[in-house]
Structure 1
Amino acid sequence: MDIQEQLNEVFEALQNKRALIHHITNYVTVNDCANVVLAMGASPIMADELSEVEEMVGICDALVLNIGTANERIIASMLKAGRAANAKGIPVVLDPVGVGATPFRRKSVAKLMDTISFSVIRGNMAEIKTIAGLEAKSAGVDSLDEESDGAKIALTLAKKLDCVIAITGKMDIVSDGVSTYSLDNGDVALTKLTGTGCMSSSLIGSFLGASNKALASAIAGILTMSIAGEIANKSQGMGTFHTSLIDAISQMDVQRMINSAKIDFIK
């Protein structure tokens, strides 16, 4: 099955099932993440209370874990939710925001990865290189790394972790350890709006919850954000762009994506 057929399949799955997506995510972007999930046709739950996360994830179709504003309590909830999701066969997405910035973040992500099996890990180049044990350059949660070796890193790490690795940046790379794709859509305005990476992870979770197809869901989620960024109105400033971005996501369909996508099969 070629990638266009796979994209059509995950879109159709989301149209046929209003997937319920449980988030334990960061409070900077939580509202935007909820809104893009709704705009895409799925349904969000944002719940991080330790005493209820097992029950909450048990009624959902996918789990998205985002460490952007994590603390010890939230990491404990993530571990509990992730174990419950794995036990029930519910796919899990990890967004390791700023993993290389502090020892707490590195240790927390290492513990999550030791405990939970992930379907998709999405991050910028510095975050993925940190997870891969490579030297990375970052400024807080922003990557300063070159992306020329992204395909090799994604492919190698995907094989090692047996999951889909998605690297987002100027050029996006997605690999499941067998097939690797580059995605060349997007707009510089997306870098001037907080949370577009977090929203991309939520979009991936939306497709994944409906289809349980990790590679196509990662590609569809990233392309939705990138193409919406190209479509959204930038002429009146970032506030207008923010609203217009949600509008463009809500109007995304598979034909618009396929017609607009700049996607290449690397290996």
Structure 2
Amino acid sequence: MSMITVSWEDPVVRGRLAGIRQRAPFIYGVTNYVAATLSANVLLAVGAAPAIGTAPGWPEAFGGSAAAVWINTAALMSSSPQDVRRVAACAHDAGIPWVLDPVAFGAGSAEYDRIVLGLLDFSPAVIRGNASELMALAGADAGGRGVETAHGSHDALRHIQTLSSQSRAVVAVSGATDYIASGATIFAVKGGDVRLTRVTGAGCALGALVAAFLPVSDTAAEAACAAHATYAVAAERVQAVGTGSFAVGLLDELSVLAGLQ
């Protein structure tokens, strides 16, 4: 196994973040109503222009014209399976790179899992999630606890390689160390802050951030690595007394890193 460490100190990471600020890409996504506000604010903090949701006509109008798209499958809490599938189909048909975040996949709902698996038909550029979700998507019996993982990111290493080979997507797993698989190559992003696990929607927002990096990066692997490294260092820099101010501080630090303070 080849493993490469990536961090904020990598000039490519900094350059790609500067590219978002310069280009202000339009990023369209569908996500759950719990995470939508934080996801939109993370995108705005780095200079991207977000739109979220499946209002009438949006899957076709935005899914086929955005610079990148992300689908957090917990959007099925309020969007229909048909609308979510249309977003993926429109992005695929237009050649727009998109991110799949399979929230709670493998946690016990067979009907939900079938819908999520169907989205793989539309070739996501990046699949991002926690260890249990990605292990289950790769075919393992991972046993997630609702939307929470029952495994560490290191447990998922061989599974994300398998999933990357099966789907031909870059696969990123979050944890104490984030790992990104691109075929046989594994990238490792260390750091971050445990308080990311105590803020609703923090992982979901990372999927949106990966999408923002896609149109300014040379490869999907580069985009995923840059997003994870940026998110990790922003979280590390937050000075906060609790999780509420941590969430606000995360946005502040992202905007400082992007030069938009």
Q: TM-score, normalised by structure 2?
A: 0.89
Provide structure 1 residue ranges, at least 5 long, that are not aligned to the other structure. Answer: 255-267
Deviates more, 1:3-12 or 1:196-205: 3-12
Give the whole-Å Cα distance in 2 for the aligned partners of 1:168 and 1:174: 9
Provide structure 2 residue ranges, at least 5 long, that are not aligned to the other structure. Answer: none
Matches within 5 A, 1:1-267: 4=10, 6-71=12-77, 73-101=79-107, 102-114=109-121, 116-211=122-217, 213-234=219-240, 236-253=241-258
Let me know the Cα RMSD of the aligned residues: 2.0
| Cα displacement (A) at 1:50 | 4.9
Secondary structure of 2:63 counterpart: helix
Give the whole-Å Cα distance in 1 for the aligned partners of 2:27 and 2:205: 13
Give the whole-Å Cα distance in 2 for the aligned partners of 1:34 and 1:179: 31
On the 8 A contact 1:124/1:143 being kept in 2, the answer is yes
- Larger RCO of the pair (alpha carbons < 8 Å, separation 6+): 2
Which amino acid is 2:118 matched to? K
| Cα displacement (A) at 1:141 | 0.4
Residues 52 and 240 (structure 1 numbering): CA distance in 2 closer, same or farther, change over 3 Å? closer
Secondary structure of 1:98 counterpart: coil
Give the whole-Å Cα distance in 2 for the aligned partners of 1:147 and 1:120: 17
Residues 150 and 6 (structure 1 numbering): CA distance in 2 closer, same or farther, change over 3 Å? farther
Deviates more, 1:210-219 or 1:236-245: 210-219
On the 8 A contact 1:14/1:211 being kept in 2, the answer is no
Give the whole-Å Cα distance in 1 for the aligned partners of 2:57 and 2:75: 20
On the 8 A contact 1:49/1:77 being kept in 2, the answer is no
Which amino acid is 1:247 matched to? D
On the 8 A contact 2:152/2:176 being kept in 1, the answer is no
Secondary structure of 1:172 counterpart: strand
Give the whole-Å Cα distance in 1 for the aligned partners of 2:153 and 2:94: 36
| Cα displacement (A) at 1:47 | 2.6
Cα deviation per residue 1:50-88 (whole Å; 9 max; x = unaligned)? 533111222310111011241585321121121111111
Give the whole-Å Cα distance in 2 for the aligned partners of 1:243 and 1:73: 27
On the 8 A contact 1:18/1:210 being kept in 2, the answer is no
Pairs aligned (count): 251
| Cα displacement (A) at 1:9 | 4.5
| Cα displacement (A) at 1:13 | 2.8
On the 8 A contact 1:91/1:212 being kept in 2, the answer is no
Give the whole-Å Cα distance in 2 for the aligned partners of 1:106 and 1:77: 16
Which amino acid is 2:111 matched to? F
Over the matched positions of the two proteins, sequence identity in percent amounts to 30
Cα deviation per residue 1:137-171 (whole Å; 9 max; x = unaligned)? 22110001143343322222112211100000122
Deviates more, 1:149-158 or 1:53-62: 149-158
Give the whole-Å Cα distance in 1 for the aligned partners of 2:218 and 2:66: 12
